[in-house]
Amino acid sequence: MALTIGSSTPVNVDGGNALEVKGAQRENSQTEVEGQIAVDLIESSLAGGQVSPPTASSGNNINIRV
């Protein structure tokens, strides 16, 4: 089947292209779902525990043995 959309050059369309488009749409939808799950996981980990503020003395003591 050939389609002409806004130009005089026909575009050939077969059933395989439609399946590829549908597969790409499902992949995009799956990616969005996985992204939302990751955001929810990060937010739940931050809300559950208190993070201690950084201190100025953190890392000042270095043990060196010669």
State how far the Cα of 43 lies from the Cα of 57, in Å rounded to an integer: 29
pLDDT per position in the chain (66 positions), as tens?
555 555 566 655 566 677 888 888 888 889 999 999 999 888 887 766 666 666 767 667 777 888
User: What is the 3-class SS of 1-66, one letter each residue?
Assistant: CEECCCCCCCEECCHHHHHHHHHHHHHHHHHHHHHHHHHHHHHHHHHHCCCCCCCCCCCCCCCCCC
Q: What is the pTM of this model?
A: 0.43
Give the CA distances from residue 64 to residues 34, 61, in Å, rounded to whole numbers and listed in that order.
45, 10
CA atoms within 13 A on the CB side of 44: 6
